[in-house]
Structure 1
Amino acid sequence: MKKVKIGAITLLSVVALAACARETNNNTDVITMRGNTITVAEYYDKVKNNTQAQQVLLTMTINEVFEAKYGEKVTDEEVSEEYNKSAQTYGDRFQQVLAQEGLTTETYREQIRTNKLVEYAVNDAAKKELTDENYQAAFENYTPEVTAQVIRMTDENKAKEVAEKAKNGDDFAQLAKDNSNDEETKEKGGEMKFDSASTALPEDVKKAAFGLDNNGVSDVIKVTDSSTLSTSYYVIKVTNKTQKKDSWKDYQKQLESIILAEKRTDAAFIQSVVAKEMEAANIKVKDPAFQNAFSQYMNATGEAVADSSSEEK
């Protein structure tokens, strides 16, 4: 069974849980027994090479760095809203799923807060990427909004019949109402508006739509969902398609959303933002055992350093 993940983390895979450590003396006994003891220092030497222990330290460091700089930007209300969404999604199973993930209510809230702190920093850095050069690059791959009617089915033979009827002039809106399994659009005759940045339709369906002229009807488009392995069959008719204008400035708002969305999901960009904040905070890894965990943000000497290619232009 695939492991359930609470609150999909699109910003930073390493931020897995927030941990709190109590300050104590290295010679403090953790365990006492007849004729022997285990001290904090001895325990530390044993666990510091453990991957999970290294992960906890990395998470604590990231949280401290981003809390210091961006703490006022994330409210308790935002954290609670995200937490409540997950709780509502899982219902009675919520506490069980938290336990399966090794989380408590408190540590999950801390995880959400850390993610939102990083998210704020990434969004802030992404806005600096709104250059003419990046607008132009996004424009070259952009297809403006089209209006189309979409029918989605699970039966391939039925889809072929519907496509044939549509191409022979049958009322497409009625075909959608009678055959589509998309409850959100079928009663509207399958009508949808989307551009190349839209996530409402699979890429293959959008590509087929962009290749049609006004009033053009597609062949059956087979799409397999990679996460569920379920297959759907689409038939589409384009009802309004406009000519793309010559300048990116005509689509600046749409392109801005595209650029920012790409940066928010760009692992290398996110890593560069975290590294830059660590460098600014003068983070140094003093124990070589932890250098590997921090290596994506550090140089060989254990000092935080941002990739020069990611610095502001």
Structure 2
Amino acid sequence: MPRKVILGIFAAVLVAGVTFLAVNGSKTLATTDNGKITQADYVDELKQSSAGRQVFAQMVINKVLDKKYGKQVTDAEIEKSFNNMKSQYGEDKFKQYLSQNGMTTRQFKQNLRDKEVMQVAVKDNYKPSRDQLNQAYEDYVPDTKVSLITTDNEDDAQAAIDALNDGAEWDDVYHQYSKKNAAVSGTGQLPAFDSTNTTVEQEVRMAGFNQGEGAYSESPVKGSKGNYYVVRMDHMDEKPAQAKIESKLKDKLTNDFINDSKNQDEMKKIVGKLLSKADVKIKDSDLKGALAGYMKAAA
């Protein structure tokens, strides 16, 4: 999972906790022989920490962006992203991931939504140059269909490759070696994807793009979710004209811009300008400087 998503999940958990504590401030969290600690005490302490101020800043940003761009992100889109991610992990591994991070399904989906709203906001305020678009088109790989044999370990994937090398039919090898993968249909085929796709694992995409039609991977492909794959390239469409996919290329460049840590200052500038337009006023003296980095970047 991308680093920005993981950080966003961490923030989402803290946001939920801080909101709850703020509403229920008088409740006692602990008692000691030297007095008690209330939720209000905890919130006051959290506000003094850099993590607490960062979470507060993210809460304000989410609030502002949601008003302007939230309607452009549908529940159906979030549900699709959620299901794609869950299918890549597998049901059991995904539940384990949520448990390890103290996440509920609702919190995870909210984090995905906040991320999508941020992408819409940046896209509206970030304009790729013509040179960037031309280069993106040159690098573009059109819709490609691949089939996967999905295994838990490298030995099983290698055994599947050995069987194919010995002349066995793909369908037979698939039924013998592949475990269940909710993302595929039939004997392992994924829906078509192109090089702008971010839901199919990068290792699978690269394996498909770099093989001729009908060819399969010569060695096991290790995925980012812990699975191993045998990847067969089934078909690649003709490359469309640039004008037909320009919007898709802009989306890809925007996503790359967001996920590149070298662009953090530019990101802050964009967000800072949106905060300024929203007339944000911080009432709590302890949190006055929480948005300073964004406002300074936008000045």
The residue number in structure 1 matching 2:213 is: 214
How far apart are residue 183 of structure 1 and its match? Answer: 3.6
The residue number in structure 2 matching 1:138 is: 136
Q: Return the match for 1:249 from 243, 247, 250.
A: 243
- Using a 3 Å threshold, how does the CA distance of structure 1 residues 240 and 122 change in structure 2: closer, same or farther? closer
Contact 1:275/1:298, CA 8 A, preserved across alignment: yes
Letter aligned with residue 173 of structure 2: L
Between the aligned partners of 2:229 and 2:247, the Cα distance in structure 1 is: 30
1:279 aligns with 2:273: no
How far apart are residue 152 of structure 1 and its match? Answer: 1.3
Contact 2:212/2:233, CA 8 A, preserved across alignment: yes
1:233 aligns with 2:228: yes
Between the aligned partners of 1:233 and 1:169, the Cα distance in structure 2 is: 21
How far apart are residue 128 of structure 1 and its match? Answer: 4.8
- Using a 3 Å threshold, how does the CA distance of structure 1 residues 148 and 70 change in structure 2: closer, same or farther? closer
Per the alignment, in what secondary structure is the counterpart of residue 298 of structure 1?
helix
Contact 1:126/1:264, CA 8 A, preserved across alignment: no
- Using a 3 Å threshold, how does the CA distance of structure 1 residues 248 and 169 change in structure 2: closer, same or farther? farther
Between the aligned partners of 1:118 and 1:238, the Cα distance in structure 2 is: 32
Q: Return the match for 1:297 from 277, 294, 299.
A: 294
Letter aligned with residue 236 of structure 1: V
Letter aligned with residue 187 of structure 2: G
- Using a 3 Å threshold, how does the CA distance of structure 1 residues 151 and 249 change in structure 2: closer, same or farther? same
The residue number in structure 2 matching 1:203 is: 202
Query: Alignment RMSD, CA only?
Result: 4.8
Per the alignment, in what secondary structure is the counterpart of residue 293 of structure 1?
coil
Letter aligned with residue 271 of structure 1: K
Between the aligned partners of 1:72 and 1:254, the Cα distance in structure 2 is: 20
Instruction: Trace 1:43-192 onto structure 2 (pairs within 5 A).
Output: 49-51=48-50, 54=53, 58=57, 61-62=60-61, 65=64, 70=68, 73=71, 120=117, 122-129=119-126, 131=128, 132-184=130-182, 188-192=186-190
Contact 2:65/2:117, CA 8 A, preserved across alignment: no
- Using a 3 Å threshold, how does the CA distance of structure 1 residues 126 and 181 change in structure 2: closer, same or farther? same
How far apart are residue 276 of structure 1 and its match? Answer: 0.9
Identity value in percent = 19
Q: Which moves more between the two structures, 145-154 or 128-137?
A: 128-137
Between the aligned partners of 1:70 and 1:242, the Cα distance in structure 2 is: 37
How far apart are residue 144 of structure 1 and its match? Answer: 1.4
Between the aligned partners of 1:60 and 1:186, the Cα distance in structure 2 is: 37
- Using a 3 Å threshold, how does the CA distance of structure 1 residues 285 and 126 change in structure 2: closer, same or farther? same
1:306 aligns with 2:290: no
Number of aligned pairs?
A: 246
Contact 1:176/1:186, CA 8 A, preserved across alignment: no
What TM-score results when the alignment is normalised by the length of structure 2? 0.58
Per the alignment, in what secondary structure is the counterpart of residue 290 of structure 2?
helix
Q: Which moves more between the two structures, 285-294 or 235-244?
A: 285-294
User: Between Structure 1 and Structure 2, which shows a larger proportion of helix residues?
Assistant: 2
The residue number in structure 1 matching 2:38 is: none
How far apart are residue 123 of structure 1 and its match? Answer: 0.9
Per the alignment, in what secondary structure is the counterpart of residue 189 of structure 1?
coil
Q: 5+ residue gaps in structure 1?
A: 1-6, 23-43, 90-96, 300-304, 308-313
- For residues 191-227 of structure 1, the C-alpha deviation after alignment (integer angstroms, 9 at most, x for no partner) is 223222334543223222222112222112241546x
Q: 5+ residue gaps in structure 2?
A: 24-42, 83-90, 92-98
Between the aligned partners of 2:234 and 2:168, the Cα distance in structure 1 is: 15
- Using a 3 Å threshold, how does the CA distance of structure 1 residues 259 and 152 change in structure 2: closer, same or farther? same
